[in-house]
């Protein structure tokens, strides 16, 4: 498998270079800020992997759609407009798009969905995430996905989210979902979903210790997406996690 890697100088880009080597894949073209790749280079690759900056992904997705090259998107923090441009590209090519490529986090998503249904609304939900000091977006893409999972399970939408309470916010309402983004040090990525009931509490936590888990998952997704019909796929599809 020949990969075009966008954002190769970054923390994740470096992890992808290592993961590709371990998997026996070739990074045949790579690009970072101030560099360009030709349409021919993109066409010559089986798949593109993007771990760069959210503003960059739509143009890469468009170039992939023109070249007919599948895309794996690891970058997070896209605006609604950027998301819509990426979805347009997915009408022509298969795109795997996940806020977190680790197997453990995707199983966490599945478990959280089950818990949110099995524990009734008297169990109030809070989502807490922590990342290293360099992270630019908040909450993390993984936390956003966890929020989407609990909102779907509880019949809520984003208006239920209460981000970083401060001041005289009043008592907690039953259906609100607290969201807290902690930043500091070198933390690769911690996510906890708390279900707080009367007299008991369930906490589901995932702690990432190394970026290799995301890189290995993304390279696995790149291999999986080859030959798939045009659409946006999540890691649940890649890993075969049933609903």
Residue 6 binds ligand NAD, judged by CB under 6 A: yes
Residue with smaller CB distance to ligand NAD, 6 or 109: 6
CA distance 44 to 38: 10
Residue 139 binds ligand NAD, judged by CB under 6 A: no
CA distance 55 to 37: 17
- Residue whose structure tokens are 């075009």: 4
Site string for ligand NAD, 200-239 (x = CB under 6 A): --------------x-------------------------
Residue of 50, 94, 110 whose CA lies nearest to 76: 50
135 catalytically annotated:
yes
Do the Cβ atoms of 153 and 104 come closer than 8 Å? no
CA distance 90 to 229: 9
Residue with smaller CB distance to ligand NAD, 101 or 224: 101
Residue with smaller CB distance to ligand NAD, 52 or 192: 52
SS3 211: coil
**CB under 6 A: which stretch of 30-38, 159-167, 170-178, 226-234 binds ligand NAD?**
30-38
Q: What are phi and psi of 23, to 5 degrees?
A: -85, 0
Centre a 10 Å sphere on the Cβ of residue 159 and count the other Cβ atoms it contains.
Answer: 8
Residue with smaller CB distance to ligand NAD, 100 or 109: 100
DSSP label at residue 107 = H
Contacting residue, 3, 4, 10, 221, with ligand NAD by CB under 6 A: 10
Residue 101 binds ligand NAD, judged by CB under 6 A: yes
- Binding residues for ligand NAD (CB under 6 A): 6-7, 9-13, 31-33, 51-53, 56, 74-77, 98-101, 141, 214
Catalytically annotated residues:
131, 135
């Amino acid at each position: 498998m020949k990969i075009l890697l966008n954002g190769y100088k970054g923390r994740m880009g470096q992890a992808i270079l290592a993961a590709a080597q371990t998997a026996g894949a070739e990074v045949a073209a790579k690009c970072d800020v101030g560099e360009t790749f030709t349409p021919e280079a993109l066409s010559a690759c089986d798949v593109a992997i993007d771990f760069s900056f959210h503003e960059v992904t739509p143009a890469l997705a468009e170039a992939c759609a023109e070249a007919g090259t599948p895309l794996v998107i690891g970058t997070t923090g896209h605006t609604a407009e950027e998301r819509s441009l990426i979805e347009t590209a997915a009408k022509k090519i298969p795109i795997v798009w996940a806020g977190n490529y680790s197997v453990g986090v995707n199983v966490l998503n599945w478990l959280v969905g089950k818990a949110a249904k099995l524990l009734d609304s008297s169990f109030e939900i809070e989502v807490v995430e922590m990342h290293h000091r360099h992270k630019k977006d908040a909450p993390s893409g993984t936390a956003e996905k966890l929020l989407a999972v609990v909102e779907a399970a509880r019949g809520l939408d984003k208006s239920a989210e209460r981000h970083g309470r401060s001041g005289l916010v009043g008592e907690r309402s039953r259906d609100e979902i607290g969201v807290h983004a902690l930043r500091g040090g070198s933390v690769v990525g911690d996510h906890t979903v708390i279900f707080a009931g009367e007299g008991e509490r369930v906490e589901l936590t995932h702690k990432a210790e190394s970026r290799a888990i995301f890189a290995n998952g993304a390279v696995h997704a790149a291999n999986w997406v080859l030959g798939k019909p045009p659409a946006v796929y999540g890691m649940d599809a890649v890993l075969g996690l049933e609903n």
